[in-house]
Amino acid sequence: MIDLDKVRQDPELYQKVCKQKNIDLDIKAFLKTDDERKAVIKEAQEMQTKRNAVSKDVPTMKGAEKERAIKDMKSLGDDLKKVEEKLGKIEATWMTMQLFLPSVPLPSVPVGKDDKSNVETRKEGEPKKFDFKTKDHLMLMKAHGMVDIERGVKISGARSYFLTGDGARLHLAVLQYTMDTLTKKGWKLFMPPLMAARSFFTGTGFFPGSEEQIYAVGNKTAADASITDDELSLIGTSEVSVMSFHADETLEVADLPKKYTGYSTCFRREAGTYGKDTHGLYRIHQFEKVEQVVLCGADQDQALQIFEEIRQNAEDVLQALELPYRILDVCTGDMGRGKVFMQDIETWMPSRDSYGETHSCSYLGDFQTRRLNIKYKDSNGKKQFCHSLNNTCIASPRILIPIIEMYQNEDGSIRVPEVLQSYMGGQKKIG
């Protein structure tokens, strides 16, 4: 949700942001609906007040006067019912339009239509130069019995897979290493529900707009109009569950910031990506992710400091794995409706001869907390909406692509990164 007073005060700004974020919403039309809603609410309240007054006086009346009053009450009740039905329709339109209102990005955010306008801000590490002909992750994993895509597809369809043997062990090692790294820094670990009701997808900003990417329980898509809030969908990130943990709660300022890390399996349909990045384990329907989720006070400067912290946590993992990467400022057209500021981390993948996205880091202001009704009492006792942030600290098996390809040897074997060896029983090499 957006603070509607800000939209009413500066509609031109929000129309500009809609254009920058590729959102098809007419702000003037929304404000017209907003005014209509106010007028009909006022009309309904006046009619209700009049009916209550007449109802109060009826017991003191007699004869024809009483009959007229009862007749007038019935007529007023019928008119009120029509006005309430009108209000219901207007409010449904008003709420639907409101859910598309965007957060205003920071002035530093690059303006652009899509990811081609994202701006590289920094590189860390140098891509390794091999003195032999390299293999891609899929060739290496198949050679060492680490993956079986064919049988995965047989059982679950396209973009499915089995991680097997050392593939499964390496996958678990990098996830556990990341969770241990965060918990040592004081982050509280969650293993959240893997299903959530529609209201929590809406609350975190994924609905409306991303329904086609979500699996609804019952083999439907979440975009199916027959699905109600009583039914559940599989999460595409633990952000949905963990951010909703404090829904409809008021926190104490002394307890902020809340720093949570959610480990979960994630499910995505990847609708609209057929034929794109389908080789190997880059774009798949099921994966595991360690997500950072933060609730803090309504202080943008503090939130941006936390943004640096959570991105650095992800960088610390990549640096420990000795993987080259780069940081991108995400442009307006690629950042999503609720984002105020967003950066991606892309890790070097030799088989692509380029960087591939492995992490994202987002600051959303009070966009999610207004929807989820998460507040805190400030030092003056005043209730305010929290601000929220999130970051992918690691996602696997995608991160296995740069690990396996960067750590391959000429004989086809794969070195295990030093920080992961203890998580694999001291194993130093695969193959």
Provide the residue range defining the domain that includes 275.
115-194+235-430
| Residue 161 pLDDT > 90 | yes
Q: Which residue, of 66, 98, 130, is where some domain finishes?
A: 98
Active-site residue, 283 included:
yes
Distance CA 301, CA 294 (A): 14
Q: What is the pLDDT of residue 275?
A: 65
Residue of 360, 362, 388, 396 marked active site: 360
Q: What is the pLDDT of residues 57-80, one digit of tens each?
A: 777 777 787 777 777 778 888 889
| 357 is annotated as an active-site residue | yes
Catalytic status, residue 68: no
Q: Decide if 221 is inside a domain.
A: no
The pLDDT score that the predictor gives to residue 274 is 64
Active site residue 398: yes
Active site residue 410: no
Of 42, 65, 98, the residue at which a domain comes to its end is: 98
Are 248 and 390 contained in the same domain? yes
Whether the bond between 350 and the residue before it is cis, its omega within 30 degrees of 0, is: no
Same domain, 267 and 321: yes
Q: What is the pLDDT of residues 213-270, one digit of tens each?
A: 999 997 788 888 788 888 899 999 999 999 999 999 999 999 999 999 999 999 999 8
The arithmetic mean of pLDDT across residues 8-30, rounded, is 98
**Catalytic residue (one of 283, 326, 352, 415):** 283
Instruction: Give the CATH number of the domain where residue 56 resides.
Output: 1.10.287.40
Whether residues 244 and 188 share a domain: the answer is yes
Selecting among 159, 370, 371, 398, the annotated active-site residue is 398
Position 328 in a domain: yes
Question: Within this chain, do residues 149 and 26 fall inside the same structural domain, yes or no?
Answer: no
User: How many CA atoms does the CB half-sphere of 383 hold within 13 Å?
Assistant: 9
* Nearest residue to 407 via CA among 123, 159, 122, 144: 144
CA 63 to chain centre: 65
CA 98 to chain centre: 18
Between CA 352 and CA 9 the distance in angstroms is 48
Beta strands at 232-234 and 195-197: parallel, antiparallel or unpaired? antiparallel
pLDDT band for position 279 (cuts 50, 70, 90): confident
DSSP state of 394: E
Let me know if residue 217 belongs to a domain: no
From 48, 67, 98, give the residue that closes a domain. 98
Positive or negative, the CA dihedral 175, 237, 325, 149 is: positive
Please indicate, yes or no, whether residues 45 and 183 belong to a single structural domain of this protein: no
Q: Is the pLDDT of residue 183 over 80?
A: yes
Identified catalytic residue from 159, 169, 198, 268 = 268
Confidence at residue 86, expressed as pLDDT on a 0 to 100 scale: 96
Q: What is the structure's pLDDT at 415?
A: 98
Q: Which of 91, 357, 413, 415 is catalytic?
A: 357
Indicate which CATH number applies to the domain containing 372.
3.30.930.10
313 in Cβ contact with 393 (< 8 Å)? yes
Please tell me the pTM assigned to this model.
0.93
